Amino acid sequence: MSSGMVFDIRKFSVHDGPGIRTALFLKGCPLSCPWCHNPEGRDGQAALLRRGDRCIGCLSCVKACSSLRGPAAVDPRREAGGPACLSCPDFGACGRACPAQAIQEVGRLMTVEEAMKAVLQDRVFYEESGGGVTFTGGEPLSQAAFLGDLLDACRAEGIHTAVETSGYARPEVLLDIGRRADLLFFDLKHAHVARGSELTGVDYSTCIGNLEAACEEAACAATEQGRPFADVIIRMPIVPGSNDGAAELEAAAELVVRLPSRGSGGAQAGKPAQGTRRGTEVHLLPYHDSARGKYRLWGLGYPLEGTVVPDEARMAAARDIFMARGISVRIGG
């Protein structure tokens, strides 16, 4: 079985799908959205997070490391996680030796068995709540083989799975994952390819194409028995200045309306009966700046400095644009 780079496992996760869930964070993401909440999840490699504020200067890290000469959490010359560490024979030894949790290893190579062991611990709570596992990241599709194996292992155990994805992958990879998962949270960052590409740093047509393909598959699966495909829920972050203009939101809503949907069986997409709710469900996620502290810890500049968190009225206005088109929409995940 495969293994992959996991940078966090959070139990009792409540914003990533129905019920009580465990969220597995897979490391690595090719996109670079400025509002990213997990900047540490972009790089696919394990990294060290230095917490100079916690360092008590005990030098245990130095003893554990062959190349350090001062406290790894604070020494500006030979910081843990710096270039010298790339060739470290025992990566993170410094962090494991640190009593103060001043150096944290972010990203650990895990086998499917190891990950499943953590997942299975909360089985009783998934059963009672209709919950399960959510694979997020990073971009989980960037570790598609590992993700696929995890999905299969969960399915074999009867555990509900959700995958949070930007949709940036080769179409066959995305559709393959869609067949092995129960729910896809599909990000929609922008309806326009040009602006989407500008924001994400990748060719955003891939994502939109995949979104259409996934919805098509989901719609067919809903009508054809024995043809498995995950349900699709679209998640759109509402980020002031990036994608929240009225015209932008309307374009997004139009895009959603045109998507093949379960109710319409795919064939009549875009021609729904008057007055009925239709289309794929949409969650609008208000931008918030709670990740700012994390950027600081990682020594990164915060890309959205000055962006205001959308208030309730603004979110309601965004919601109304979708609602006006008969889309089933809600604020928050």
Partner 1 sequence: MNERIMRLREESFSTRPSFSAERAVLTTEFYAQWLGRVSTPVLRAMNFRHLCENKAIWIGEGELIVGERGPRPRAVSSFPELTCHSEEDLRILDSRPMTSYAVSEREILDYREKVIPFWKGRSMRDRAFADIPGEWKALYEAGLFTEFMEQRAPGHTALDGKIYRKGMVDFRKDIALARSALDWAADPECLAKDEELKAMDIACEAAIAFAGRHARLAEEMAAALGEGEAQGRRASELRRIAEVCRRVPAEAPRDFHEALQMYWFVHLGTITELNGWDAMSPGHLDLHLGPFYERDLASGKLDRAAAKELLSCLWIKVNNTPAPPKVGVTAAESGTYNDFTNINLGGLDRAGNDASNEVSFLCLEVLDELQLLQPQANIQVSAKTPARLLEAAARVIRRGSGYPSLFNADEVVAAMAGMGKSLEDAREGGTSGCVETGAFGKEAYLLHGYLNLPKVLELALNDGIDPDSGKRIGVRTGGIDALCDFESLKAAFRSELEYVVGVKVRVSNRLDRLFARDAPAPFLSVLIDDCIGQGRDYYDGGARYNTDYIQCCGLGTVTDSLSAIRKHVYSSADCTLRELSLAMAEDWNGAEALRLRLANQTPRFGNDDDEADTMAQWVFSTLLEAIDGRPSPRGLPGKRSTWRIDLLSTTCHVYFGLRTGATPDGRRAHLPISDGTSPAQGADRNGPTAVAKSLAKVDISKTGGSLLNLRFLPSALQGEEGIKRLSAYVRGYFKLGGHHVQFNVVDTQTLRDAQRRPEDHRDLLVRVAGYSDYFVDLDRNHQEEILSRTAQEGF
Binding footprint of partner 1 on the chain (CB under 8 A): 10-15, 18-20, 23, 56, 58, 60, 99-101, 121-122, 124-125, 127-131
**Helices vs strands, H then E, count in the chain:** 11, 11
Identity at 191, one-letter amino acid code: A
Q: With respect to ligand SF4, which residue has the nearer C-beta, 92 or 167?
A: 92
What's the closest the beta carbon of residue 46 comes to partner 1, in angstroms?
19
> Does 73 engage in binding with ligand SF4 (CB under 6 A)?
yes
Query: Starting from the edge strand earliest in sequence, which strands make up the sheet with 21-26, in order?
Result: 108-111, 3-13, 21-26, 132-137, 160-165, 183-187, 231-238, 278-286, 327-331
Dig out the tokens for 87 from the structure: 């060739």
Name which of partner 1, ligand SF4, none residue 55 binds, using a CB cut-off of 5 to 8 Å depending on partner kind: ligand SF4
Q: Which does 129 bind (CB under 5 to 8 A by kind): ligand SF4, partner 1, none?
A: partner 1
Calpha distance 75→51 (Å, rounded): 11
- Residue 55 as a binder of ligand SF4 (CB under 6 A): the answer is yes
Name the segment binding ligand SF4 (CB under 6 A); options: 89-97, 152-160, 171-179, 210-218: 89-97
- Choices 3-11, 67-75, 230-238, 253-261 (CB under 6 A): range interacting with ligand SF4: 67-75
Q: Which stretch binds ligand SF4 (CB under 6 A): 52-60, 107-115, 160-168, 325-333?
A: 52-60
CB of 264 to ligand SF4, least distance (A): 54
Beta pairing partners, 234? 186, 282
Nearer Cβ to ligand SF4 (65/147): 65
What distance in Å separates the CA atoms of residue 247 and residue 300, rounded to the nearest whole number?
32
State yes or no: residue 252 binds ligand SF4 (CB under 6 A).
no
Q: Report in angstroms the alpha-carbon separations of 308 from 253, 298, 314, 319.
A: 23, 22, 11, 18
DSSP 190-243: -SSHHHHHHHHSS-HHHHHHHHHHHHHHHHHHHHSTT----EEEEEEEE-TTTT
Give min distance, CB of 134 to partner 1, in A: 10
**Which one of the spans 80-88, 126-134, 221-229, 243-251 is the region binding ligand SF4 (CB under 6 A)?**
80-88
Nearer to partner 1, 71 or 237 (CB): 71
CB atoms within 10 A of CB 85: 21
Candidate segments 94-102, 187-195, 279-287, 292-300, binder of ligand SF4 by CB under 6 A: 94-102
N-terminal to C-terminal alpha carbon distance within the chain:
32
Q: How many residues of this chain bind ligand SF4 (CB under 6 A)?
A: 28
Tell me which of 72, 154, 214, 239 binds ligand SF4, using CB under 6 A: 72
